[in-house]
Amino acid sequence: MRMVPGVHLTYRTWRGIWAFLFLLPSLVLFGLIVVYPLGWAAWISLNDWGFLRLPAFIGMGNYARLLADPLFWKSLKVTLLWTVVVVPAILVFSLPLALILNAGWVKLKGLFRGIYFAPVVTNIVAAAFVWRWMFEPGTGVVNWILGSVGLGKPGWLADPAWALWAVMVVGVWKQIGQAMVLFLAGLQTIPEHYVEAARMDGAGRWQVFRHITLPLLNPTVLFVVVILVINALRVFTIPYVMSSGGLQMRTPGGPLDSTRVFVLHIYDIGFKQFELGYASANAFVLMALIIVVTLVQIRLIQRPFEY
């Protein structure tokens, strides 16, 4: 095809050029906001760079330093505990809720979906402050309820043994609605005639769920688990606000680093101690952890299926 005098290019070549030109603005934007910051952060992680001193190249020194840092292992342990508790808890609540709200006999489905989804659209900072007041050991609603039924009154956010569990309650409450909506969307894509055929063959509700619904819901389950695990590994706002952060301007992650999740650890190093190189090295460890865990989940959970 000849579209420019003196230039002989095939139709396929011109089509590739036009495609590249249309993609060019997006590629430039992607390079500016993703590739360049990622490369710059990788370079920073190889330097000893504080806020008031010039960067000095130290190679893998920051990565060797974090292996000997007890706070690195402490924050990693807290984050993994958060992940193995919060993610299954959300699944346990959200999947049955989705199954109930997808059933034909339930009335006022829109109202209940709105109620369960409300925490998702609630401002997380405001919600975390409210929950912090509710978990106050002396005047909080939670301990008032426990005391009224004769149970003990834990110190919650003031007690290292209970602080993380109190924060995890908020993490579960915040994300149930999101997972429920995703499960509802997945359930509504399952052809009804599969369920009807199973029931005509005498299958009960558990058998239909076990052998029809759950296998066909596998792509949604995989998606929800991957999203929840990524959210758990990069959780920040709830522990930050509820663990003496926010307006009190104290070091978050307390008491005694019992709620010091990994992103909070990175924030403390980078924006309070101003160790930019060391904070970047920790951030790259978190990125690698998320990639590895995601690939493992896809390998373990994904199942081939066809309608």
pLDDT tens digits for range 29-87:
999 999 999 999 999 999 998 877 888 999 999 999 999 999 999 999 999 999 999 99
Evaluate the omega torsion of the peptide bond into residue 255 and state whether it is cis, within 30 degrees of 0.
yes
Point out the residues of the chain with pLDDT beneath 50: none
Evaluate the omega torsion of the peptide bond into residue 119 and state whether it is cis, within 30 degrees of 0.
no
According to the model, what pLDDT value does residue 1 have?
A: 53
pTM of the entire predicted model: 0.86
Q: Specify the amino acid at residue 231.
A: N
**CB contact at 8 A, 266 and 281:** no
Give the C-alpha distances (Å, rounded to integers) separating 84 from 68, 73, 177, 199, 232. Answer: 25, 16, 19, 36, 9
Give the contacts of 247 (CB within 8 A, at least 6 positions apart): none
According to the model, what pLDDT value does residue 249 have?
A: 61
Q: What is the DSSP string of 14-35?
A: HHHHHHHHHHHHHHHHHIIIII
According to the model, what pLDDT value does residue 250 have?
A: 66
